[in-house]
Amino acid sequence: MADYGSESSYKRRYPKRKSSQVGKQTRNKSTPERSAEIVAGPIIKVDDFDLHWHMFLSVPYPLEVERFTHHEHLLHAVDCFIRGIFDTRNKGWSASTTSFLGPGGNDQSPLYYQWRSISDRCHSVALLVRAGQQGKAEATLEQLFQELGNLVEHRHPAFMVSFWRLCLRLLGVDTHIPQANAVRRLLSLVKACRPENDPAALIAASLSAMVPGDLRNALRIGYLKAIRTMGELIGDENIMVLEMASYYCKFFDTPYLVREALLGKFEFVWHKTYDGHAERSRPAIAVAYAYAYAAYYVLDRPLIAIDMGVKLRDTAAGHSHLAEPARARWTLETEAFAFASKTVAEMYRQQVSRAGNLACAADQFAKCCASMQGAILKLEKGDRECRTRAGIMSATLNRWLVEWGLQQQAEEEAIRARRILNSVEGKMCRGNTCVERVWS
């Protein structure tokens, strides 16, 4: 049976330093000193009761101990992972505004961006499922797990940033493709790639032991614990913690969010990043992307969202990865471009819908279509992920054109959407039948 790393065993291995300075001194844990807050106040107000509320549920006694023990093991393992990795006594990690810094103070953003890319591409799996392309969704999932094996082997704080979002995305995939068993597969991968008593493996073991009905809530409290502990150690005026908070609030209705604080901290981080980096640099695009995402999905600030979205779309469109459509590659910049293009188009579409007819909103209609068309043209001949997103965007535009009664344009767009999606490697699905089709 796996050792879950109980509180008592942890204290035996890592006893606290005695204030009297007398006796065996084997552990002197130190964490990075938090920089002074510029925007005061927490972005998420959560206390110990919120994390341990499951202890107060009324359940049959035989289930109570086992059920709650798994939750407590999870919270303890999350705490051990974060505090261990940022332990400066062992030359631990630290953080800047835009990335994690390794033990030597060197920038470790490449692995952070790889984790981001993996978690974002899980969204592609969900999009393909909703588009009726289950075979292609399964092929995308296989690619993701192949890449995840290499990432999980590295001890990196980005694991804690992206792990929860990955689990939640894959939980949605399992709802539509039960045979994929994606969450269990991810947890098994983490346990296989990390030492048995490693906190990451203990997190996966705790979640694996949950009954299916408890899993989503366990992910919720684990995610909250990670946000709170990370904020305690490295502060929350950095893009990593702010993104974690945004994605948490996207997945869960929460009374804990302090919107004004989140908005203020995003504004501060955005200005600080743009003061020190070129507009087209990866850190600047990453921060603008996260800010626009939060403004649109979490903060309910449509004016900020559309302003940031237009600037982000136009900036990312000029990046070298998108300069030649036939060679477009899915990177952070491409992801930001696709998100901004779709978000801007969606906001103009809403304005068209409120106007009641196209004649009264001709300008918004033109901008909506131009944003979608521009993105599709940039992505439709790129790599597999670019083509996937282009095909999904084309199918979305087709649906909008049908809603507006533009039948001819809708039919033309439907043909393009099928052509693009057919070019994506995987199985083409018609009804309940999937046929293998691999394009060179």
Lowest-confidence region among 65-69, 169-173, 376-380:
65-69
Question: Residue 66 has what pLDDT?
Answer: 64
Lowest-confidence region among 84-93, 346-355, 377-386, 407-416:
84-93
| Cα torsion 193, 214, 9, 80: sign | positive
pLDDT reading at 20 higher than 70: no
pLDDT reading at 53 higher than 90: no
Q: What are phi and psi of 279, to 5 degrees?
A: -60, -35
Q: Write out pLDDT tens, residues 268-325.
A: 999 999 888 888 899 999 999 999 999 999 999 999 999 999 999 999 999 888 988 8
Q: What 3-state class would DSSP assign to 257?
A: strand
- DSSP line for 87-133: -GGGT--EE-SSSEE-TTS-B-HHHHHHHHHHHHHHHHHHHHHHTT-
If pLDDT is split at 50, 70 and 90, which confidence band does 201 have? very high
User: Do 154 and 111 contact (CB within 8 A), yes or no?
Assistant: yes
pLDDT reading at 109 higher than 60: yes
pLDDT reading at 107 higher than 70: yes
Question: Residue 30 has what pLDDT?
Answer: 53
pLDDT reading at 3 higher than 90: no
- Say what the pTM is: 0.84
DSSP state at residue 222:
H
Of all residues in the chain, the percent with pLDDT exceeding 90 is 58
